């Protein structure tokens, strides 16, 4: 039976893992199992921490939710890696702000 999407919502990879775990591994279809395997391999923080980070990044650094989710999904470890996520906005971020953002990510890594 096809599932119908009611609304689109941005969620982090750790949240995907949490949702799929809550369904029960034995009840997942093939696509869900593959998604769960991917989320398990690439989740870099716990779901609650991921949500907290997205909220902090959007509020404290004035980034769009989409940018914050991508940053939390990848958890960049350097300013150069971080800049990749910020290139689309054509905004200029001071190095000190990028360092603060990296520091926030570092405090929350697994």
How far apart CA 31 and CA 10 sit, in angstroms, is: 19
DSSP letter assigned to residue 61: S
* 35 belongs to a structural domain: yes
How far apart CA 23 and CA 27 sit, in angstroms, is: 7
Model confidence pLDDT, tens digit, residues 83-107? 988 876 667 888 999 999 999 999 9
How far apart CA 37 and CA 60 sit, in angstroms, is: 32
Instruction: Give residue 87's pLDDT.
Output: 78
Looking at the structure of the chain, the number of domains it has is 2
Q: Which domain holds residue 34?
A: 13-42
Same domain for 33 and 61?
no
What band does 34 get if pLDDT is binned at 50, 70 and 90?
A: very high
How far apart CA 48 and CA 103 sit, in angstroms, is: 18
């Amino acid at each position: 039976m096809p599932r119908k999407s009611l609304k689109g919502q941005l969620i982090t990879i750790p949240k995907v893992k949490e949702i799929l775990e809550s369904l029960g591994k034995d009840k997942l279809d093939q696509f869900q199992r593959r998604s769960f395997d991917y989320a398990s391999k690439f989740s870099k923080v716990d779901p609650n921490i991921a949500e907290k980070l997205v909220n902090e990044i959007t509020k404290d650094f004035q980034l769009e939710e989409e940018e914050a989710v991508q940053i939390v999904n990848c958890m960049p470890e350097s300013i150069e890696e971080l800049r990749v996520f910020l290139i689309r906005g054509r905004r200029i971020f001071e190095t000190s702000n990028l360092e603060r953002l990296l520091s926030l990510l570092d405090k929350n890594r697994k």
